[in-house]
Amino acid sequence: MKRREFMKLAGGGVFVFFTVGEPWDWLEAQQRSGGRDYPTDFNAYLRIAEDGKITGFAGKAELGQGTQTALAQIAAEELDVALDRVDMVMGDTALCPWDMGTFGSRSIKYFGPALRQAAAEARGVLIELASEHLRLPVAQLATKDGFVQEKVNPQNRVSYGTLAKGKMIERHLDPKPPVKPPSEYAIVGKPADRKDAVLKVSGRAQYAGDIRLPGMLYARILRPPAHGAKLKAVDLSGAERTEGARIIQDGEMIAVLHSSYDLAEGALSKIRAEWELPEAAVDDETIYEHLVKVASTGDVVEEKGNLEEGKKLAESVFEESYFTPYVAHAPMEPHTATVKIEGGSATVWASTQRPFGLQEEVAQALGLPLEKVRVITPFVGGGFGGKNRNLQTVEAARLAKLAGVPVQVAWSRSEEFFYDTFQPAAVVKIISGADASNRLVLWDYDIFFGGERTSQPFYDIPHYRILSRGSWGRGGAGVHPFEVGAWRAPGSNTNTFARESHMDVMAAKAGLDPVEFRRINLKDERMKRVLAAAAARFGWTAAKAPSGRGFGVSLVNYLNTYVATMAEVEVNKNGAVKVKRVVCAQDMGRVINPDGAKAQIEGCITMGLGYCLSEEIHFRGGAIRDLNFDTYEIPRFSWLPEIEAVLVENRDLEPQGGGEPPIVNMGAVVANAVFDATGARLNRLPITATRLRAALPPRY
Amino acid sequence: MKEIIRFEVNGRPASLDADPDRMLLWVLRDELGLTGTKYGCGEGFCGACAVLVDGEPVRSCQFPLKSARGKKVVTIEGLAVNGRLHPLQEAFVRHNVMQCGYCTSGMIIAAYGLLRKNPRPTREEIIRSMEDHLCRCGGYMRIIQAIETAAQEMKKGVRR
């Protein structure tokens, strides 16, 4: 009897299936993911093998953020086994429960509880089995280190593996066993070594481009010089003469396939193509004016009170605009996919953040039913939002179908820049007001195409309106000259740069210390707590800016993770900024792996220096001018500030996200520190030496 | 155009009938199946493809096969001895350095080259020597710490 039929016959309720051996056949897996929602049977999450090894299944991808380790910690904790007894299989559409995608700092926050409940239920089933095995009532049993044991006589015990041996057991626990109270945690909340570390230091960790299949060909694809360019004429003869090269034309796509990547590339370079370029309408200087011009009247994101009322109360009014450019994801691993089609089924290895979404795209491109496409997500060499889109995989799938052999498409660095879904360029206009006691009374906030996330004020403001003018994402025809998308903490880097810069503009005018000005306007206790924690570690003393010290502060509530960041910078006469020190205090609820969380903070701070100081895509119309790391500068070793990560304990709150929040403050904290050092305020990112030099006071 | 080129890879002889102008990266990855060495930028800007040639780190995406003739090439797969990780690899594990791990091979190879020449580098020397190796996850702080730890360990007179 198929499991689904069994469930139907048996009626409603929650079923806990305890299964041993290798039951992961295709059909069952599809039943598990068929609902396109997190399933309720724990088999979808866990398997306990006869040797007692536990395998966890997660539809998430390991992009480097360390969820493979933190999720294993969660399962090991509930099951009372050592961390090294749990392995996680991630992002495999045939084995793992359906998942929406790995973005928004959601893996631990939303998937963690499902895994935790499943593990608790598995533990409950193991205790019931042991009760039969040991002939003791359940109440007299406890679990420890992979065994179920008698409480009063721990020697009387049976291992999980023994309980699992040679049986096919299906159980239904009612009521569901409770999860462990956090006060009993022994694994969660303790620093854990990454489970992928040894594979990664020894070169054995497989990425999508490391897949090697018999007969596999590498495809290089002819690319236009600009988005929107049309192919006028093409001469393939040079490529055709290359030994071992196959040329495939499919509609607009022209690809050269070869058994070696570089030889495919060599053949591609012999193709002569003529392109018709569309007229360039905007470039990286005119884009902001363009965005404001094409924006809609907008939708209210959130509002309170009445702006007119706020204006009446305001003693002083401030009006500023803030600008953030297109920013590239630039993961070290470019988009890559390997596709094999055999017997009417496709297997896909892809560097993706959305394995299940990709499964649908590939099925559609190949005209196959969903269950005939399996997406396997090997290790992913960084995503940051850029690998939500998987054009390369659809290309590989089309080519594998036409070529009749497995095909790998691995984008070059220039393709990676060209087809990136950049963080959208955006404008924020703020009109704010404060009363005579420096309390915010007015906050009139318009975002142009930047996205809404973290635009809602956490300061105590009686009259405010947040207006989103031009939606986030593609924005509609005639807005962006190329694709845009989610970039680590989408919308928030722009909104927080604007909000927190503006707070400092107001504080400076009022002659108040920026931390003091924020305190006056904060009621949120969690925010006050992280601010205090950051100030204590940083050694912040009150002074109005510009104080010459080069100190800056910025705050954010990113999807319920609270972050306070402080920085110290040095600016030389040429306008070059050196960020010397960054302190980041974060309240992310209960922390699963403190060392992993700190690594995310360090990584976010380091990566975030790029969008503060150098990262900006230069373009003219659809032609991208930055196509490698020579002109698109990302942070290097010498940029590294002293970093101090402070995890502000909050054990009463369920785990929140940690992969994005610490990057959000970076724009404003540096801009504010630069103002404090020099008196020059830049409302546009990045703060390049050229721009800052032009803004520096004459005798700086 | 093709010719027979012999060299040594990770202690074993390799012999290839190939175009001598091909870059070593692709020969390692596609002909020899050593995929631990990564493509990152193809123009020598990022360092993901670093390997050792006669003990010196080179960018294999810019290093023609003919220049490897008769030389000893060591890739990330060749650093461990009898299954025991090199002290640098151990230090990278101990410091939980890796996030996505894609730059790691090149980082370790570059650090190996540094410690070979300068067994006790200062922090500034580490930074200067590693400057042209890029990590998008922002793992520089832990990479520096791991190199310092490995230098300490190697000073104690362990292997290499």
Segment A645-687, tens digit of pLDDT: 999 999 999 999 999 999 999 999 999 999 999 999 999 999 9
Tell me the chain A residues in contact with residue B127 when contact means C-beta distances shorter than 8 Å.
637-638, 640
**Same domain as A371, residue A501:** no
Q: Which two tokens stand for residue A504?
A: 């400092």
Q: Which has the closest alpha carbon to A556: A538, A578, A534?
A: A534
Tell me the chain B residues in contact with residue A206 when contact means C-beta distances shorter than 8 Å.
35
Beta-bridge partners for A157: A149
Cβ atoms of A601 and A648 within 8 Å: the answer is no
A145: left (phi over 0), alpha (psi -120 to 50) or beta: left
Q: Which pLDDT score, from 0 to 100, does residue A35 have?
A: 42
Q: Which two tokens stand for residue A14?
A: 């929650």
φ/ψ of residue A13, rounded to 5: 100, 175
**Same domain as A455, residue A602:** yes
State the DSSP string of A229-268: -EEEEEE-HHHHTSTT-EEEEETTEEEEEESSHHHHHHHH
Q: Which pLDDT score, from 0 to 100, does residue A382 have?
A: 97
Burial of residue A549 (number of CB atoms within 10 Å: 0-12, 13-18, 19+):
middle
**Same domain as A304, residue A266:** no
**Same domain as A463, residue A387:** no
Q: How many CB pairs under 8 A join A and B?
A: 180
Which residues of chain A carry a pLDDT beneath 70?
1-44, 166-173
- Dihedral of CA atoms A408, B47, A602, A450 in degrees, nearest 10, equals -60
Q: Is B105 in Cβ contact with A636 (below 8 Å)?
A: no
B104 to chain A, any CB pair closer than 8 A? The answer is: yes
Q: Which pLDDT score, from 0 to 100, does residue A40 have?
A: 59
Q: Which two tokens stand for residue A280?
A: 């360039």
For strands A440-448 and A464-469, give the pairing.
Answer: parallel
CATH number at A66 reads 3.30.365.10
A153 falls within a domain? yes
For A564, the 3-state DSSP assignment is: strand
A415 falls within a domain? no
For strands B12-18 and A642-647, give the pairing.
Answer: unpaired
For strands A426-434 and A440-448, give the pairing.
Answer: antiparallel
Quote the CA–CA distance of A663 and A686 in Å, as a whole number.
Answer: 14
A601 falls within a domain? yes
What length is written for chain A? 700
A289 falls within a domain? no
Pick the CATH number of B3-78 from 3.40.50.300, 1.10.357.10, 3.30.360.10, 3.10.20.30: 3.10.20.30
Tell me the chain A residues in contact with residue B93 when contact means C-beta distances shorter than 8 Å.
193-194, 197-198, 201
Domain count, chain A: 3
Quote the CA–CA distance of A679 and A175 in Å, as a whole number.
Answer: 64
For strands A217-221 and A253-258, give the pairing.
Answer: antiparallel
Q: Which pLDDT score, from 0 to 100, does residue A270 have?
A: 98
Q: Which CATH superfamily is domain B87-155 in?
A: [2Fe-2S]-binding domain (1.10.150.120)
From A185, A201, A217, give the residue that closes a domain.
A201
Cβ atoms of A166 and A20 within 8 Å: the answer is yes
**Same domain as A224, residue A313:** no
A64 to chain B, any CB pair closer than 8 A? The answer is: yes
Among B94, B137, B142, the strongest candidate for a mutation testing the A interface, having the largest count of A CBs within 10 A, is B137
Smallest CA–CA distance from B38 into chain A, residue: A333
Please state the separation of Cα A574 from the chain's center in Å: 35
B98 to chain A, any CB pair closer than 8 A? The answer is: yes
Q: Is A209 in Cβ contact with B137 (below 8 Å)?
A: no
φ/ψ of residue B55, rounded to 5: 85, -10
Q: Which pLDDT score, from 0 to 100, does residue A665 have?
A: 98
Quote the CA–CA distance of A296 and A281 in Å, as a whole number.
Answer: 19
Neighbours of A698 (CB within 10 A): 4
Query: How open is the CA angle B138-B139-B144, to the nearest 5 degrees?
Result: 130
HSE (side-chain half, CA atoms, 13 Å) at B67: 16
From A201, A230, A255, give the residue that closes a domain.
A201
The shares of helix, strand and coil residues in chain A, as percent rounded to the nearest 5, are: 35, 25, 45
Cβ atoms of B4 and B16 within 8 Å: the answer is yes
Q: What is the pTM (predicted TM-score) of this model?
A: 0.93
Cβ atoms of B3 and B15 within 8 Å: the answer is no
A461 falls within a domain? yes
Q: Which pLDDT score, from 0 to 100, does residue A28 have?
A: 43
**Same domain as A304, residue A188:** no
Average pLDDT over residues B45-74: 98
Q: How close B70 comes to chain A (CA, Å)? A: 23
Quote the CA–CA distance of A385 and B106 in Å, as a whole number.
Answer: 24
Cβ atoms of A232 and A274 within 8 Å: the answer is yes
From A167, A201, A235, give the residue that closes a domain.
A201
Cβ atoms of A323 and A616 within 8 Å: the answer is no
A239 to chain B, any CB pair closer than 8 A? The answer is: no
A382 to chain B, any CB pair closer than 8 A? The answer is: yes
Question: At residue B67, does pLDDT exceed 50?
Answer: yes
Q: Which pLDDT score, from 0 to 100, does residue A96 have?
A: 87
Q: Domain span at residue A29?
A: 3-201
Q: Which pLDDT score, from 0 to 100, does residue B157 have?
A: 63
Q: Is B23 in Cβ contact with A201 (below 8 Å)?
A: no
Q: Which pLDDT score, from 0 to 100, does residue A27 have?
A: 35
Q: Which has the closest alpha carbon to A213: A382, A396, A380?
A: A396
A700 falls within a domain? no
List Cα–Cα distances, A588 to A68, A76, A254, A544, A643, in angstroms. 19, 21, 48, 30, 18
**Same domain as A242, residue A172:** no
Cβ atoms of A609 and A635 within 8 Å: the answer is yes
Smallest CA–CA distance from A642 into chain B, residue: B141
% of chain A residues with pLDDT over 90: 81
**Same domain as A481, residue A539:** yes
Quote the CA–CA distance of A154 and A94 in Å, as a whole number.
Answer: 39
Domain boundaries defined on chain B: 3-78, 87-155
**Same domain as A656, residue A636:** yes
A303 to chain B, any CB pair closer than 8 A? The answer is: no
Q: Taking each helix axis from N to C terminus, what angle separates A355-366 and A391-403, rounded to the nearest 10 degrees?
A: 40
